[in-house]
Amino acid sequence: MLARDIAHDRQTLDLQPSDETFEFPNECRGCNHPPATAILTVYARGAYDPVAVRTGQPVTVNGGDGFFLSPRWPAGAVLAWQYGKNAWATAQGRSKTAGDLDRLLQLAAQVHPTERTPVRFPLSLATLPADMPLSSVDSWGANVQTTLSFDGCGDGKFAVPVAACARPSDRLSIRLSRSDEFSSYRVVNGGQRREVYTVPVKIGGIEGYLHEDHVNEAAIKVVPGVVVVFVLSGPSGQEGVSAGPPANRLEDILANVRWAPDPGNETTWPAVSEWAK
């Protein structure tokens, strides 16, 4: 798995077969080596319209009804199947390797949409502004970085329900990295790197650091191998750029952080679904 995106109405997994050849069924300028050539998406009930895929070849997927659309660009090949009442999942193959029907059926066989595995973080927030609900959960990279995005009215890949978007709101991201570094440096003295999270600040009662150039960024090494970074920004403007300073104070949000009973033991980490609504 290369990446995982979770939104309020779908979960998407980006994959790349181990024997990927990067041969495409149609010409794709600039797509010689895309990071993901197979994409699995599980939709919540009512979130997927199957009208288009019903024109494809009928197939049986995991014992249920499905349809296969032959490769075309930019979508490539698409396998869609119903895993529950008005609930669908799709497997998209963007190359000749991943777009083969048998390969997509193999991928589909590994999907268990009705099973739930909670996303866990070593923290929770006691309170969060009502206009900043959780909008998405993204995971990627060899170090398994996971970002929680709280954004009422952002222009990201997935939108939160319209009811939560009555007016522009601040945006907050909380990034968890399996690392011992904050991954933010300034290059000085002809190539040496200097850490820029240097201003002490309390995060849930534990010593962390603000970014010396950006007062709305903070980072903390919770335990060895676990770093958490907080970034607060104002409402989103054109092309996702902040339209102004945030109305909230990062220090107030950091004061509301509650750490897991034993941050070094992931079994004590709370499920995000238990505190982020």
Report pLDDT for 54: 92
pLDDT given for residue 173 in this prediction: 93
Q: How confident is the model at residue 186 (pLDDT cuts 50, 70, 90)?
A: low
pLDDT digit string, tens, across residues 213-264: 888 999 999 999 999 999 998 876 555 556 678 888 899 999 999 999 999 9
Most confident among 16-25, 67-76, 224-233 (mean pLDDT): 224-233
What mean pLDDT comes out for the span 134-145? 79
Please, what sign has the CA dihedral across residues 253, 258, 264, 267?
A: negative
pTM of the model: 0.77
The dihedrals phi and psi of 119, each to the nearest 5 degrees, come to -85, 125
Give the mean model confidence (pLDDT) for residues 59-69. Answer: 91
When mean pLDDT is compared across 20-24, 36-40, 163-167, the lowest value belongs to 163-167
CA-closest candidate to residue 40, choices 108, 136, 130, 141: 108
